[in-house]
Amino acid sequence: MIDFKEQARELVSKMTVAEAISQLLYDAPAIERLGIPAYNYWNEGLHGTARTGTATVFPQAIGLAAMFDTEGLEKIADVIATETRAKYNEARARGDRGIYKGITLWSPNINLFRDQRWGRGQETYGEDPYLTSRLGVAFINGLQGKGKYLKTAACAKHYAVHSGPESLRHGFDAKADAKDMEETYLPAFKAAVQEAKVESVMGAYNRTNGEPCCASEELLQNKLRKEWGFDGHVVSDFMALADIHVNHHVTENAVETATLALKKGCNLNAGYTYPALYQAYAEGRVTEEEIREAAVRVFTTRMRLGMFADDCEYDKLGQMDVDTPQNRKLAYEAACRAAVLLKNDGILPLDASKIKTVGVIGPTASSIEVLNGNYCGVASKYVNNLDGIRAAAGDDIRVLYSEGCHLFKKEVQPLAKPDDRISEALSVAEYSDVVILCLGLDATIEGEQGDTGNAFAAGDKETLYLPESQLRLFEALKETKTPIVLVINTGSAMDVSKLEGRCSGILQCWYSGECGGQALGDILFGKAAPGGRLPVTVSYDGTLPEFTDYSMKGRTYRYDEHEALYPFGYGLSYGKVEYLSFSADKEKAVVEIKNTGETDTEEVVQIYISNNAEEKAADPANAEYADVCDKDRQPKWSLCAFKRVAIGAGESVKAELDLSALAFTTVLNDGRRAELKGRYTLYAGGQQPDGRSAALTGKKCLKQEVVL
């Protein structure tokens, strides 16, 4: 086995101290005398190779999460890695070693989507730590591959306790107690390190419990290195080190910041602070050993990537491996499987034999931005919603179109009066047998601070409602007699309770990728089926805690006592699946399901566990934990297994699911995990075991008791 770290140590030993410092910058210069080319570490691969020209654009990460499919996600990540390698090979062959051309991908984002107002929630895998852990591990495995060398180097970000508000992130102190850290904020990062062997970890902009994340002794040394055994390199978020003295005011200047960050374990600086290490070294603040150790860590990554090898199995990838028909097909399949059917009164799929005219209305109907989301590449071909519906409708159905309104402004045309497209929309609706109403957001108004240019909340949402321009359009259309199917393209959960009652069908399509419109059209006309489940709760506006409060009380399906509009894990389908039987022990669950419908389908089998906290708190067998186990802070239930199962018409299938290794543990107030004695209740179904899901689906979960 190759000792990559020893190779790195040998190469770094030949550098001067100044040269070693230069290699701790994200845009590391060449050291020609040692045969080291320039290298820029910054590349993105969230849902496709990003910001470097043509590449396959998959649905945004939150949409990929809605697939509830680890195998499918790993396959997508492998394609992203292939295209990234191919573009890297082509660029370096032509002397281009610029930004976004490398094979170190600053993805995935495995922060918890704890508040639906967060603009960057679209980049995550949702609100559940177990789902996020499983999908994060799968994505990292796909990016890094199983070869002799890493295919690409993945990066788990943003470590840790980071999920808005965007406007405060550069100076904010996110406070979370030991229980919330262990139970919610850290599991996905721990899994990324220990299971997926993620090559790098990115520190967040904010402080966590007083310490800057990119210079945190608790996070970087105690947890990451000592407790979890992380062996890769740590990189700062872009300009996050400058925040330490400019906004957090933990240090006085760049020299103090560079000193603190290096000593605490930040190995690579995305930004412009580490040039101050030259002065810090000259003044004796940092040692040569500390500088070289950081350089060894980043060069170990480059060695693992085969950058200095002549036998790397990925060096032959090139232009013909990018944007292939097979990759495009995978993007289409992902868009179908990501779409979540929230409501269907029987109108879907549309019966083409009974329809002569379809009206497509709304500001997202012809949009490319709602296909992309943020951190995206550029597809060679996009199919927007309007074009996808036209293609699926065929030549015998007339498709009428109206933009209806601006995405968020009062008028579409400058100098026009407000709502200048509504009369046209009403005309289209009057002449149509059904209206497909395309509403939502896009990454110009929902996303990352500084990356969106929006006029609202630095990329966050002020409310969970759609923009006023779109609500006014709906108010006008709801007075017509034409049935409405609502299509929502967003990166997050939206409160559509004001619209739900008038809609015959509702589809949540996320930012759906280059084939998003094709998938939508096929779903509407029954040529494909919606296969997604919600990875985030759709809450009613006004029910969320204060945005800046990082306590999990009242957040996510596990702790929120409010009834949801649409619950986590929920999603309808065109198939008819019945749950026949359910058995479980401590490690495995077996669920028998039957497709009673006439078409093949896919079911997302979900297993939840309740630790029956109140009962255990009173059990003398758990007396030793009584003082540190608050029953009021335990989750109602938690997802502990899921599996996407293909099932043919009329078939029965027995699905075996491995339960989470943490399923029967209880997180105590002090952050320790304990296996409490007593009765645990397991639930199996295509949803979580709440009353709202049962009401929406007409189904209840099966139950099984396990006693420890």
**What positions carry a catalytic annotation?**
237
Residues contacting 703, CB < 8 A, separation 6+? 582, 681, 682, 683, 689
382-409 CB burial, b ≥16 within 10 A, e <16: bbbbbbbbbbbbeeebebbbbbbbbbbe
Cα 294 to Cα 292: distance, rounded to the nearest angstrom: 5
Instruction: Give the β-pairing of 398-402 and 357-361.
Output: parallel
Cα 204 to Cα 240: distance, rounded to the nearest angstrom: 7
Ramachandran angles phi, psi of 341, nearest 5°:
-85, 110
Cα 160 to Cα 633: distance, rounded to the nearest angstrom: 21
Closest CA to 41 of 99, 113, 121, 112: 99
Cα 123 to Cα 345: distance, rounded to the nearest angstrom: 31
Q: Tokens for 44?
A: 């993105």
Output the CA angle 122-128-132, nearest 5 degrees.
65
**DSSP line for 111-153:** -----TT-GGGGGS--S-HHHHHHHHHHHHHHHH-SSSS-SSB
Cα 233 to Cα 328: distance, rounded to the nearest angstrom: 33
Cα 272 to Cα 153: distance, rounded to the nearest angstrom: 22
**DSSP line for 375-434:** S--B-S----HHHHHHHHH-TTSEEEEE--S-SSSS-SSTTSPTTTTHHHHHHHHHT-SE
**How far apart are the two ends of the chain, measured CA to CA in Å?**
43
Closest CA to 385 of 477, 489, 468: 489
Q: How many alpha carbons lie under 13 Å from residue 95 in its C-beta half-sphere?
A: 0
Cα 417 to Cα 451: distance, rounded to the nearest angstrom: 30
Helix (H, G, I), strand (E, B) or coil at 312: coil
Cα 110 to Cα 105: distance, rounded to the nearest angstrom: 14
Closest CA to 27 of 259, 298, 246, 230: 298
Helix (H, G, I), strand (E, B) or coil at 335: helix
Q: Tokens for 268?
A: 């690579």
**DSSP line for 520-560:** HHHHHTTSS------SS-BPPTT-SPPTT----TT-HHHH-
**DSSP line for 585-609:** -SSEEEEEEEE-SSS-EEEEEEEEE
Instruction: Give the β-pairing of 652-658 and 588-595.
Output: antiparallel
Residues contacting 606, CB < 8 A, separation 6+? 68, 533, 569, 639, 641, 642, 684, 685, 686, 687, 688
